[in-house]
Amino acid sequence: MQGKYTVELFAKERNLTRQSAINLLSKLKKQGYVTVSGGGRQKRIYTVSNKIQKPTNGFYSIVNKYSPEKLQPDFKHYTYGNYTIEHAIIDGIKINNVRTRQATMHLFRHIRSWKRLFQLAKKHNLTKEVINLYYEARKTTRCKTMPKRYQ
């Protein structure tokens, strides 16, 4: 029983009342078998799957949150622990795609720790690429100024 459903369609296929269908979908959602989209003025669409759907919390979720250019994920990126904007900038440079670089430029507006960014850049040997991307971003968007010790 996988696919996309509204509450009414799900209730009709399962031969349940509307409230029972809502309760079952809620239970499945808590277990991770259902993801929900829509709501508000739109109809809620429930995507039911046979496997547990783990929400992504990596590069693409951060970029799509902060950048006006939204990206369709090429892969599912799961992270464990503290994944910050600085990590996302390094991953965006590593992906090395034109659209990804454009979207990554907008992340420079939200940097909290330049020190962490340059420690990660040094660790991955991407210091020059970070600086070049920063200066490209300065041409198109308003960014926080980079401290002089990192220039």
In whole angstroms, what is the distance from residue 50 CA to residue 134 CA? 43
Give the per-residue pLDDT at 12: 94
Report whether pLDDT(140) > 80. Answer: yes
B/e letters for 112-149, b = 16+ CB within 10 Å, e = fewer, are eebebbbebbeeeebeebbeebbeebeeeeebeebeee
The H-or-E segment that residue 31 falls in is helix 18-31
Report whether pLDDT(125) > 90. Answer: yes
Predicted model pTM: 0.70
Question: Which tens digit of pLDDT belongs to each residue from 59-74?
Answer: 888 888 888 888 888 8
Of 41, 56, 61, 43, residue with least CA distance to 4: 43
- Name the token pair of 123: 């660790």
| Pairing outcome for strands 34-37 and 3-5 | unpaired
Give the per-residue pLDDT at 23: 96
